[in-house]
Each structure stands twice: as C-alpha cells, then as structure tokens.
Amino acid sequence: MLRQVPTCKGGRFRGVLQSVGAIVREFSTSANALQDCWNQSREIDDVHILFRYCTNLQSAKCLHARLVVSEAIQNVCISAKLVNLYCYTGNVALARHTFDHIQNRDVYAWNSMISGHGRAGDSSGVIRCFSLFMSSSGLRPDYRTFPSVLKACRNVFDGNKIHCLALKFGFVWDVFVAASLIHLYCRYGGVGNARRLFDEMPIRDMGSWNAMLSGYCQSGNAKEALALSDGLRAMDSVTVVSLLSACTEAGDFNRGVTIHSYSIKFGLESELFVSNKLIDLYAEFGSLRDCQKVFDRMIVRDLISWNSIIKAYELNEQPLRALSLFQEMRFSRIQPDCLTLISLASVLAQLGDIRACGSVQGFTLRKGWFLEDITIGNAVVVMYAKLGLVDLARAVFNWLPNKDVISWNTIISGYAQNGFASEAIEMYNVMEEEGGEITPNQGTWASVLPACSQAGALRQGMKLHGRLVKNGIYLDVFVGTSLADMYGKCGRLDDALSLFYQIPRVTSVPWNTLIACHGFHGHGEKAVMLFREMLDEGVKPDHITFVTLLSACSHSGLVDEGQWCFDMMQTEYGITPSLKHYGCMVDLFGRAGQLETAFNYIKSMPLQPDASIWGALLSACRVHGNVDMGKVASEHLFEVEPEHVGYHVLLSNMYATAGKWEGVDEIRSIARGKGLRKTPGWSSMEVNNKVEVFYTGNQTHPMFEEIHRELTALHAKLKMVGYVPDHRFVLQDVEDDEKEHILMSHSERLAIAYALITTPAKTTIQIFKNLRVCGDCHSVTKFISRITEREIIVRDSNRFHHFKNGVCSCGDYW
C-alpha cells in the first residue's frame, strides 16, 4: 500500500487524500468507505473524525497508511488513538508495532497500550507493559492506568503492590481505581479487605456499589450482598442483575420479586441481561409461570434467553415443554451452543428417549465440542446414567480426553444411583490411584458415601470419614449429612445421630436424612419426635420431609400419626401431595392390614396411580394373604408397568403362599414369555476385611461343607426350642422334606452359619440382603439370636431388623 502512495513532504492532509484517492479506491471496499467519509467531510481538517468510521482491521490499515503519508502519525495523540483502534480490532501485534514507533510517548499512549493488552486477554502483556512504563518512561501514571493493571493481576500479592502504587500517587480514592481494587480483592478471596476499602471511600458512585455487590455474589456471600443493598438509593441494570443472583443463592424469593417490581417501575426489565437473570430467578424457585411471562415479554431474545427458559423447564422436570422450546429456538434460527446441549441431554434422559440421546452425542462429536469442552462430555455421561445405561456411560467416560473431578463424580454417582454400589466404590478407588492431581470435593463424597450405604461397606465408609476429618470438611452440611446417612444405613444409628448434632441444621436436608434412618430401623416414634424437634427449631419441612416421615410411620404401624402428618402437610405447609406421598399412605394402610381402606384410598386419589401405588397394595395383599384383591392390584399394575419382573415375582409368590400352583405356573409362563428373569437373592457380610457374598441355594463357596454341617446342627437345636418350618414360604410345589431343605439354603441362613463359624462367640453379626426377608427366615433368626446369645443385624431391601434374645426390633411388623 505504502509503495503505491506517492511521496508527500508537506501540504495539508486533504491534498494528500485527494491525490491518492483513485489508488486507494482500488485497494479495498474499506478504503472506499473511508474515501466516501472524507468526501462527506471535505470542509473538516481534523483527522480525528476518520477514526469513528474504521470498524475493521482493513480500514484501520488504510487509515494508518494515510496517516504515515500525511505525517500526521507524528502526532502523539493520533498515534495513541491508532494503537487503541488496532486493539479494538483485535490485532495487538500491529498496536504494539505502532506504539513502538511513537517518538515522545505520553501517559495516554502508555495507557492505550496497557489497556490494549488487557482487552486481548493478555494479562502478562499488561504487567510487562506497566513495568516498562514505570521503569523507563519517567512519567507518572494517572487514574486511567490502574484499572487495567489491577484487572490483569494474577494474585492478591501483585494486587497489593499496585494498591500501594495507587496510594502513593494519590489515586486510591478515585472511583474507577477503588472499584477495580474492590473487584481484585473479591476475585481472590479478600472480601473483608474489599469491604473495608468500600466503607472508607469518601465518594461512592454506582460503579463502586456494583463492584462490592458483585464481589459478594461471586464469593458466595449472597446474604451480605442483600444486607449491603439496604443502603442503596437507586439501582441500575448491573445492580439489579447482581441482586437477583444474590436472591437466587440466598433463597430469598420475596426479595427477588421486589427487585423485579423495581426493574419494571424504572424500565430496567427491558434490558436483555436483566430479563435473562429474572428467568433464572423464577426457575430456581419453581415458578415456571413467571419464567414464561418474562420470556414472552422480551422484545429481543438471544441464545442466553433461550438457554435460560429451556433450563428452567428442565430443572423443574417438564421435559416436553423444554423440548418444545428447543424446537422453537431452532425455528427462530438461533444455533445451539454447549449449554443448550447440556440441558437437552438432561431433557431427553428425563423422557427416556434413547435414540434421541444418541443423536445428541453424535451432534456434539460432529461439532467437536465433545473433545473441546469437558462439560459436554460430563453431560453425556450423566445422560446415559439417568437412562440406566451405565455401560454406555462408562464407555463415554473412558473416551473423555481430560477428566476433571466432575467427570469422576459423575460416573461414581451414575453407578451408585443405578444400584451398582460396589462399582461406584471401585471407581472412587481408581480415581484415587489414577486421578493424578485431581482432588475429591464435596460432590465426590456426596457420591461415594451413598454407595457405601447401599453396599453396607461400613469399613470403607469409616476410612472416608477419617479422611474427611483430616481435611476438616466433615462438618460441611452435605458431606456431614451423607456421612450420617451412611452410618444410619450401615446399622450405626448412634454414630449417625452424633454426627447429625455436629453439622448445621438450618435446612431440612439433614433432618430428612435422620428421620429416614430412624424409619429404616423401625423407630417410627423417634422419627416423629425428630420431626417435632425440627419444627421447634424453626426449620421448615419440605415435600421430602413428609415422604420420609410417612414412610417411617408405615414401617412402624403408626396409622394415626401418618394421617396427621399427611393432613398437616397440606393444611399448614401448603404442599400438594405427590404420587410418593400417596404411595406411602397406601403402604401405611396396607401394612396395617387395612386393605379395603388402602384400595378405596387409591380410587379416591386425584392423581392417576402409578406402578408404585399398585405395587404397595400388591405387596400388602401378599403379606396378608388377600389373593382376590392382589389379583385386582396386579391387573392394574401390569397395565402401568408390564415389564417389571419384581411385580411378576410378587404375584407368583402370593399364589404360592396360598397354594394356588396353577396361578404360579401361569405367572411364571407369562414372565418367561416376556423374557423377564427373577433377580437372584443374595446376602453379604464383612469378615476379616473381606466381603463374603452368599446366593440362595449356591454350593460353590469354599467353606460350603462346614457351612452345611453348621446349619444341620443348628436346625436340630432350633427344633428343640420350638421352631416349626413354615412351608408357605417355599415357592415350589415339592414334598415337605424338600421344602425344608430349600428353606435351609436361603442366603441369609448361609451367611449366619458362616459368621458363627468364623467370628468369635457372642460378637454381633451384621448381614445385608438384597431382597425382603421371608417370614420363615425371620422366625429362624430370632431363635438363633437366643440360642447363640448373639445380636444379629439384618438389613433387607425394606428396613433393618435387630435380632437379640429371640426378639426382633420390628416387633414382627415389616
């Protein structure tokens, strides 16, 4: 370009521009636009006006060439403006080249170069340029110098140095410098320093307030942000967004609505990012109607708006509406990004659409997001885990090129939530061995501890507890609650209660856990006492609280207390009963033998009964031997969920108990025709740091001969003290001698016999069983606890049984 421009040793810039106009017009469309601008401004000699028409790199280069030809580049102010222009167009190298050719740089030129590095995200470049300025320029920085440098500081120590310089040169109370200092301290955890600086400011503008409010929000101090806002006399859109974030984090819905009203009154709701934040606020509190109202009123919607409204419906488990909105977004020609796909993956998992989920994975692979952004990979792992496809989830996990702690947490929780507790614990151990520098966080503990609960891996759980104590995070509310849950479900209720009283109890989460643990152990009265204590401490119960409480009442036969809780939930707390609540009530009446009441309750429900409701009634009919009502329940059940093997087994067992073998054969034939297979019964126990697993009827254990001899001798002793085998619990149509042999081979009896052989006398035996304990094994275990003087703790699929001195803690009510 410069070679095409004739030499000009003087004259006015206008003449030069006219002389080379023809050549420049041929250079580019950018130059043409610049020439048109000059033609429209022929009477103006000031070159500064041309800068506003340079909107891209090409036009900036054209202007640069003309400035060189006209020698206007020798003006420091014009050169500094050119540095700024190159920085705005994203070419820091040309900006630096221009800066290096400025002869007599002033503070404005240095500020332009320093801020240019900052705009390009080059923090190191900012610091180097500032250091060069301070060491070689001989100039004093001004109030415009410090904000860019403070923003580029990588740690609080560098920030402290710049703070001292600002204090030395007298700019610390400039509102721009002070706001930048507040941002710096909040960014690196020094919220207290930021607040002291804010309080000492002689004059505060809106930027200062916004800096302090956003600092509180970013550091997780939402309540302090809301308290600080009480001193505000006015708010702008940035203030509103910060406070809405604080309301969401603090759970202060009413304050959020008040701020929304303010934004409407002063016309701030129309701001795009304010509307987007309002959608997030209402979504967090489950107010989808308000989310939709805000979205519908938006004149302009960007990708963030669509992502926010889709996520709102996804979080509140309305996947069909979320999917419909995604399709509307595509019709609006808005292209999805990674966040869209993360929400979509969750939506499709909720819908159980396996084919569409595969399409999501394929789309992310074609876009290259799967390898570029770890959050996409993690979302796909979660998606498959929610579908129950743990093998696919594991395969995707193995493909992830750079696994972070969330990746490990995702696969661990995926295994645990799908009932693969041992695999979840194994993945945690693999993470510890192969994870490199990955440090477990709260999410890790909240994933692996429930797996320990499921597997009854008390020793593993205690090891994790020891590590948490060492790290000092065992009193975190979520980690502490998970620990309490682990101890409660591993039979150590006293330890669970001790932990419960050490952790913060201001929310319903720890209370729900302890109520559930007591219900699991059959301590319904204690669960109700805990609930009353919770109310006395001012903690508001939620819908989960009442599910755990009703379940506890059901396991203990507390029918009146259960009805009281169900009524209180609606009248005093305005909680609309869900299917889980109705299922607990049906189970409550059914276990108590009030089958007609349970059946009438189902018929009067305002909701359509699902499989859990009819399954609870069928289970009660099996316990109480009501075959006719059980058949009615099974007919409804198979309409709702025809492929569930457990319900077929339950109906078959009911027929077998009643001696109706034709019905047994029919149900088994139907199950075989559907390709359904019964889950084999097993019991496990931990002996000498090793977990032993026993399957019903299995004879492959290395110590089977010793176990069989122990069982035979034990059986003879049991008959001497009054045990009579209950053949109703043999589910095959065989002779009585064979039935007795089948009862002896139940998995929990094999485990008990093994424990009697391998553990010291009078020590406690603890067994975990994957299915419900049968009535005959329940009677046998009571007798064994008496004649061996052992306490035997059995956790089956429903609850804990503590056998001691011939008595069970369930009171034969389970």
**Please, which pLDDT band fits residue 436 given cuts at 50, 70 and 90?**
low
- The tens digit of pLDDT for each residue in 581-594 reads 999 999 999 999 99
Highest mean pLDDT among 35-44, 58-67, 236-245 belongs to 236-245
Non-local CB neighbours of 587 within 8 Å, separated by 6+ positions: 551, 554, 616, 619, 620
Adjacent-strand bridge partners of 800: 795
Integer CA distances (angstroms), 797 to 177, 523, 559, 771, 804, in order: 63, 17, 22, 5, 20
How many Cβ atoms sit within 10 Å of the Cβ of residue 199? 9
- The tens digit of pLDDT for each residue in 757-792 reads 999 999 999 998 888 888 889 999 999 999 999 999
User: What pLDDT shows up at residue 242?
Assistant: 93
- The tens digit of pLDDT for each residue in 114-141 reads 999 988 888 899 999 999 999 998 899 9
Query: Which strand ranges, in their side-by-side order, compose the sheet holding 807-808?
Result: 690-695, 682-687, 765-769, 792-795, 800-804, 807-808
For residue 783, the 8-state DSSP code is H
Q: Is the pLDDT of residue 48 over 80?
A: no
Mean pLDDT of 443-453: 91
Q: Is the pLDDT of residue 566 over 60?
A: yes
Domains and CATH numbers, the chain: 582-678 (1.25.40.10), 682-808 (no CATH)
H-run or E-run covering 685: strand 682-687
User: What pLDDT shows up at residue 732?
Assistant: 66
Tell me, yes or no, if the pTM score tops 0.85: no
Of the chain, the percentage scoring pLDDT greater than 90 comes to 49
Integer CA distances (angstroms), 236 to 263, 271, 274, in order: 9, 10, 10
Distance (Å, whole) CA 199 – CA 201: 6
User: What pLDDT shows up at residue 736?
Assistant: 66
- The tens digit of pLDDT for each residue in 171-210 reads 988 889 999 999 998 888 888 889 999 999 888 889 899 9
Which of 623, 622, 589 lies closest to 605, judged by CA? Answer: 589
Q: Is the pLDDT of residue 63 over 90?
A: no
For residue 769, the 8-state DSSP code is E
H-run or E-run covering 793: strand 792-795
User: What pLDDT shows up at residue 742?
Assistant: 83
Residues 492, 584, 683, 483: is their CA dihedral positive or negative?
negative
Q: Are 483 and 468 in contact (CB under 8 A)?
A: yes
Cα-only R_g, the chain? 36
Query: Pairing mode, if any, of strands 690-695 and 765-769?
Result: unpaired
The backbone region for 794, taken as left when phi is positive above 0, alpha when psi lies in -120 to 50, beta otherwise, is: beta
Highest mean pLDDT among 271-285, 369-383, 686-700 belongs to 271-285
DSSP three-state, residue 765: strand
Which amino acid, one-letter code, is at 1? M
Q: Terminal CA-to-CA distance of the chain, rounded, Å?
A: 91
**Please, which pLDDT band fits residue 26 given cuts at 50, 70 and 90?**
very low
Residue that wins the pLDDT comparison between 695 and 50: 695
Integer CA distances (angstroms), 432 to 403, 429, 440, 533, in order: 13, 5, 9, 40
Could you give the angle at which helices 442-455 and 421-434 cross, rounded to 10 degrees? Answer: 140
User: What pLDDT shows up at residue 20?
Assistant: 37
Distance (Å, whole) CA 684 – CA 708: 17
Report the range of poorest mean pLDDT among 475-489, 538-552, 632-646: 632-646
| Backbone φ, ψ for residue 575 (5° rounding) | -90, 120
User: What pLDDT shows up at residue 551?
Assistant: 94
User: What pLDDT shows up at residue 30?
Assistant: 45
For residue 687, the 8-state DSSP code is E
Q: Is the pLDDT of residue 412 over 90?
A: yes
